[in-house]
Amino acid sequence: MSALELKEWLADAQRTKPVLLDVREPWEFEACRIAGSQSMPMRGVPARHGELKRDTDIVMICHHGARSFQAGMFLEHMGFTSVINLQGGVAAWARDVDPAMPTY
């Protein structure tokens, strides 16, 4: 999913909001994040995936999209049914949606 597609989804009052799961390191999450996202660093996903509902829409987020893709594949392997990767991560969000967002 592109950053613009996610923006449209979040703005659509008719659609249920997805879980925005940010798998970056805590320092990255503190530097910048998409409003409403929750932090679950990638290394913690195997131990903490039980905190998530398997049938909920989950948008995976990282810096550029690679770590979130890998973590999303893990969740799918664990039986999660609606895992979506944010292509380009927060870097794409900052570029395409929120140019005022700090970058690193």
Q: What does each C-alpha distance from 28 to 24, 50, 56, 102, 104 come to in angstroms?
A: 6, 23, 25, 11, 8
| C-beta separation of 89 from 62 below 8 A | yes
Question: How many Å is the maximal CA-CA distance in the chain?
Answer: 37
**Residue 19 pairs with which residues in a beta bridge?**
58
62 is catalytic: yes
- For helices 3-11 and 89-96, the axis angle rounded to 10 degrees is 70
**Catalytic residue, candidates 20, 34, 40, 62:** 62
Active site residues: 62
